[in-house]
Structure 1
Amino acid sequence: MALDKGARDAGLTEEQGKALLWLARETIARQLGKEGREPDPDIAACLRDQALQEKRGTFVTLKEHGELRGCIGTLVGIDPIVEGVKRNALHAAFDDSRFSPVEEEELAAIEVEVSILTEPTPLIYATPEELLARLQVGVDGVIIRKGGQGATFLPQVWEQLPAPEDFLSHLCRKGGLPAEVWRSGTLEVLTYRVQYFEE
């Protein structure tokens, strides 16, 4: 289990994180037709915590043998955390268009990660140089928007793309935009922090 060093203000405990990981995995397992397990008393108590009833953006990421297997989430809090985790666990497992749906025999090899987001805030900048300088490498989740297109990278993506120029170029391509459009100064950019837990 890991806590993004930039997001301690997200405020969940490791016990709450373990409960959310259990919830995500159990939700996927039940959808695959596996007999449901009852949570142990500590997990059940955590899932009732008021903190997990707050409306927050959530992402669920699935990896298999270290490779991405699905990642779906919401950037803003439209549901309580527990409901968002359940919904996004199902979407990550079965509805990520980049991958085929998860099958039952894969489940044991899949690692689950749950991310809880702070509210995105606009990043104000005047030049591409200022944009690069204001990004906090390894800390910021980044949203870009231009016209009707946009995309986001969670802070965890900095591990694969630690150079801000590469991070932004890949993010632009993910959003269906030219890789270098961030240099134009016309992108809307928002940032957020993440507290994440992994199995």
Structure 2
Amino acid sequence: MSLDMEVISFISEEEGKFLLKLARKSIEYYLTYRSILPIDERDIPFDNLKRKGASFVTIETKYGNLRGCIGSIIPYRPLYEDVVHNAVSAAVSDPRFPPLTLEELPNVKIKVSVLTYPKPLIYKDWKDLLEKLKPFEDGVIIKYKNHSATFLPDVWEEIPEKELFLSHLCLKAGLPPDFWKTGLLEVYTYKTIRFSE
């Protein structure tokens, strides 16, 4: 298996710091030149970051309020590339917020979460689903027909109750809040390795 076909499974502290700098540089470059930061694979000092990886980039105000968050669930491009594109999207393409400005950039905090590959969560009924979920550990993806949504593990900090967590996730997917009780949802879980400025 060649390097570019391998999926990332571990990120060191040093690699995480590099990704945070890369995310900030990508946003600054885009806000200045309105184009994606041109980056050569040879400029990436860690081979690990050239493996396929999925990431979420989160932007917060200095008061800890969300200012943008965009990511990939399934790894399909080198991790460093994924972070570059998701950083720019979180800054200017999150439909919940106006685009970030260059003036705001020094006052925001950037977080990068690297995701493990999602695994199906097999459950018998809604009680079993609640039983199997691990708050503060699991990122959760739900799917039903053409509806889908995910919450990163960080969301447990805001919504620690499992029932509420699933209800909010259903609403995010455009489903009724108690749809998780129907047994019709496909559920997948993943873990994240988080880095923060």
TM-score normalised by L of structure 1: 0.88
- Residues of 2 paired with 1:159 and 1:186: CA distance? 27
> What is the aligned partner in structure 1 of residue 15 from structure 2?
16
- Matching residue of 1:51: 48
Paired amino acid for 1:95: S
Query: Which one of the candidate residues 117, 120, 134 is aligned to 1:119?
Result: 117
1:13 CA displacement: 1.0
Aligned equivalent of 2:59, options 51, 62, 65: 62
Contact 1:16 1:46 in 2 (8 A): no
> Deviation at 1:48?
2.5
Indicate the residue corresponding to 2:79 in structure 1.
Answer: 81
Contact kept, 8 Å, 1:143 with 1:191, in 2: the verdict is yes
Partners of 2:122 and 2:43 lie apart in 1 by 38
Q: Deviating runs (4+, > 4 A) in structure 1?
A: none
8 A Cα contact 1:16 1:47, kept in partner: no
Unpaired runs of 5+ in structure 2? Answer: 1-7, 34-40
Q: Which amino acid aligns with 2:13?
A: E
- Rounded Cα–Cα distance in structure 2 between residues aligned with 1:46 and 1:184: 50
The percentage of aligned residue pairs carrying the same residue is 46
> Match of 2:106, SS?
helix
| CA-CA distance at 1:45 after TM superposition | 9.3
What runs of 5+ residues in structure 1 fail to find an aligned partner?
1-8, 35-43
Q: Which has the higher contact order (CA 8 A, sep 6+)?
A: 1
1:51 & 1:189 partners in 2: Cα distance? 29
Amino acid at match of 1:51: N
Distance 2:11 2:97 in 1: 30
Contact residue 19 and residue 46 of structure 1 kept, 8 A:
no
Provide the secondary structure at the position in 1 that maps to 2:67.
strand
* 1:158-179 residue CA offsets vs partner (Å, 9 max, x unmatched): 1001111111000000111100
CA distance in 1, matches of 2:66, 2:113: 15
Could you tell me how far 1:191 is from its partner in structure 2?
A: 0.5
* 1:48 partner SS: coil
SS at match of 2:110: strand
Which residue in the other structure is 1:141 paired with? 139
CA distance in 1, matches of 2:9, 2:190: 11
Q: How far does residue 47 in structure 1 lie from its aligned partner after superposition?
A: 3.2
